[in-house]
Amino acid sequence: MTSWETEKAIWDTIFFDGESPVDPSETSLVVTEPVLDLPILQDSYDQIIFEEYEFDSYYRATGNVDIHRV
C-alpha cells in the first residue's frame, strides 16, 4: 500500500458508485491481505473501515498462498 487516498477512492467507487450501493452501517466486510502484512497497515485498515466508512463489522484474512510456486 503506497497511498491510502488512492485506496479510499477505489473503495468509494466500489461501495457507492455501483448498481447496488451499500450502507456500511448495515454491512459486514471481508478483507484479504497479504501474508505477513505489516501491523501498521493492519491498524490502518481498522481505522479506515471503522472510522471512515463506519462498517458494522469486518473480518480480515490472509489471501491464498500458492506453495507450489517457485
Q: Where are the domains of the chain?
A: 28-63
Q: What average pLDDT does this structure show over 4-9?
A: 88
Nearest CA to 29 out of 13, 7, 53 is that of 53
Copy the grid coordinates of residue 66: 500458492
pLDDT confidence of residue 63: 78
pLDDT in tens, 17-60: 877 888 999 999 998 888 888 888 888 889 989 999 999 999 98
What are 60's three cell numbers?
480480515
Neighbours of 55 (CB within 10 A): 20
Query: Which residue, 2, 4, 14, is CA-closest to 44?
Result: 4
Lookup: cell for 62: 490472509
